[in-house]
Amino acid sequence: MPEQNNSHLHALKVSCSNCTLRELCLPVGLNRDELAQLDAVIRQSRRLKRGEYMFRSGEAFKSLFAIRTGFFKTCMSSQDGREQVTGFHMSGELLGMDGISANVHGCDAIALEDSEVCELPFTRMQSLSRDIPSLQHHFYRLMSREIVRDQSIMLLLGNMKADERLAAFLLNVSSRLATRGFAANDFILRMSREEIGSFLGLKLETVSRTLSKFQQQGWIKVDHKHIQLYQTDELKNLISGCIHAQSH
Amino acid sequence: MPEQNNSHLHALKVSCSNCTLRELCLPVGLNRDELAQLDAVIRQSRRLKRGEYMFRSGEAFKSLFAIRTGFFKTCMSSQDGREQVTGFHMSGELLGMDGISANVHGCDAIALEDSEVCELPFTRMQSLSRDIPSLQHHFYRLMSREIVRDQSIMLLLGNMKADERLAAFLLNVSSRLATRGFAANDFILRMSREEIGSFLGLKLETVSRTLSKFQQQGWIKVDHKHIQLYQTDELKNLISGCIHAQSH
DNA sequence: GGGGAAGCTTGACGCTTGTCAAAGCGGGGT
DNA sequence: ACCCCGCTTTGACAAGCGTCAAGCTTCCCC
C-alpha cells in the first residue's frame, strides 16, 4: 500500500476496495491525472461521533457527502418533534443529493456510530464532471440509483404487510453488509426498533413482535441488536410474491 | 407566433409557456445558439393514445421523455399481474430517469389520456450538457427534484392515515393543475379509484369511502371523476400536523 | 460498581382499513 | 340508440396493526 501521504482520495479508494461494487464509490475508470484533479476537490475528511449531525434539514446545500466508514440515518422531522426515517446508509454511499434541487438540505443526516465522511463541494464537482465525462455519467447514475432505491421503498410501504417489510429489511441489510465484505448472516443492527419501525412505516411494538415471530419459527435468532439469519430462504419466500423483491 | 416550422423545440417552449414554473421544462437560460443545439438533439415528438405505453419496464434505456401535453401514470408490475402505481405525471415533467442507473427502464409509463411527448436521447443530452453548463445543472436539479418527490411520497405512505393521504393527493393535483394554468378547485381526475388507491397504498373501496366522507362534510363535491374543492383549508388542516405537508 | 433512563418484549383491547358482496350508474362501441 | 361491461358506491364483517400498559433488560454515566 504505497504512497498514502496526504491523499484524501486514497482513503476513498481504500474504502472502495472494501466494496465488491465499485460503483458505490467515485473514482471509477479515471486515469492518474483525473484522479489528481478529483483529489484536489475533495475536502479533508471529517470524523463524526455517534449522534452527531452530518447536515440538517434547512441548512444551505453546498456539498455532497461520501461515507468512508460508519453508519448513518437520514430523517425528516415535523413541528411536533416526531421524525420519519427515510433511509439507513453505509460506507461508500453518497448523501445529500436531495439538496441539489432547492439548494437546501431536505433532511437530517445523523451518525448511528462513529463515522468518517468526505465532503464533495458540489459546484466544484459539477465543473470537474464537465471535464471528465465518465465522472459526469457516474453522477447521473448515482442519482438515478437513489431514485430507484426510493421507489423500491415506496413499493414496500404501499404493498407489503408487516412481516414482509421486516423480511425485506433484514435481507437488504444482509446483502449490503455482504457487499462490503462483512458476514451476511450474523450482524449487529445499529438502529433502534423505533427507527426501524419509522423507516418501515410500522410501530416499534410491531417490529419487536414480528422479529419474535421469525425467531419462534426458527428463521432467525434475535438477541437485542445482534441478529443471526438461519433460513434466508424462508424470508425470501415471504416476499417472493411482491414486486421487485430484491433489495436496492 | 413566428417561424414555427420544423422546430421541435418550439413546441417545448410552447408547452413551457403554459407553466408558471419554467423549471419544469428544459430550455432555461439558454441563448439562441444553445437552443439550436438542443433542438437538434430532441427527436420528433410522438403522439400516444390513451392506454399506450411510452416505455416498459425491462426495455433498454436510451432516452428520457418530456411530456408536452397529456397525462401519464408510471407503475411497476409483479409476476402475478398486480401493479403498483409509482406516480402520476403532467405536462412539463420528465420521465425515465430511473433507467439511467442500470440502462434499463425500471417501470412502465402509460398514457391516461391522448398525449404528446418529446424524446431526449440520453447520451446526446449528456454530451450536450457538458457544453452547456446551465443545462447540466438543470439536469442535476431535475433528478434531485425527483428524489425529493419520491421521499415526500415515502412520508405519505409511512406516516399518514387514509383521509390524510387523500387530502394530500387532492391538494397536490390541485396545485399542479394551477401551476399549469388550469382551475385549481374544479377538475377531472384522469385515473380510476383503483389507480389512486394503488398510488396511495389503499384499496379502491377506501378511496371511494373517504371521498364520500369529504363530500358529506361539505369539503368537496364528487361526481365520479369530476372533483370540486370547496374548503381547501379543511383539507390542509387534515395534513397540517404531518411532516412536509406541502406537495412536491 | 451502582443507579437511572432508555430501549425492548409481551399482553389485552380497539380502531382503521381490507375483504367480500351486491347493486347502481355511466360510457363506449357496435 | 341500445346494450354490455367496467367503474363506483355502499354495507357488513374480519383481520391486521396501533394503542395503552406493565415489567424487564441493558447500557451509559456518574
Q: What domains can you pick out in chain A, each with its CATH number? A: 8-132 (2.60.120.10), 160-238 (1.10.10.10)
- Among A25-34, A129-138, B237-246, the range of highest mean pLDDT: A129-138
- A window 86-145, beta carbon within 8 A of B: 86, 97-102, 106-107, 126-127, 129-130, 133, 136-137, 139-145
Question: What secondary structure does DSSP assign to A86-129, as a single string?
Answer: EEEEETT-EE-GGGTTTTB--SEEEESSSEEEEEEEHHHHHHHH
Strand C bases within 7 angstroms of protein beta carbons: 7-12, 16-21, 26-27
Q: How far apart are CA A4 and CA A11, in angstroms?
A: 8
Is the Cβ of B200 closer than 8 Å to some Cβ of chain A? yes
To test the contact with chain A by mutation, choose from B86, B147, B155, B239 the residue with the greatest count of A C-beta atoms within 10 A, namely B147
Summarize the confidence of residues B98-102 as an average pLDDT.
97
The answer to whether residues A238 and A163 touch, using CB atoms and an 8 Å cutoff, is yes
Residue B231 has pLDDT above 90, yes or no: yes
Listing DSSP states for A30-57 in one string gives --HHHHHHHHHHSEEEEEE-TT-EEE-T
pLDDT per residue over B62-99, tens digit each?
A: 999 999 999 999 999 876 667 899 999 999 999 999 99
Nucleotide nearest residue A211, measured CA to C1': C9
User: Cell numbers 475533495 label which residue?
Assistant: A42
Give phi and psi for A218, each to the nearest 5.
80, 10
B245 closest CA partner among B180, B183, B159, B179: B159
Mean pLDDT over the full length of chain A: 87
For the stretch B153-205, pLDDT in tens is 999 999 999 999 999 999 999 999 999 999 999 999 999 999 999 999 999 99
pLDDT category of residue A247 using cuts at 50, 70 and 90? very low
Percent share of chain A, pLDDT over 90: 75
Model confidence at A175: pLDDT above 50: yes
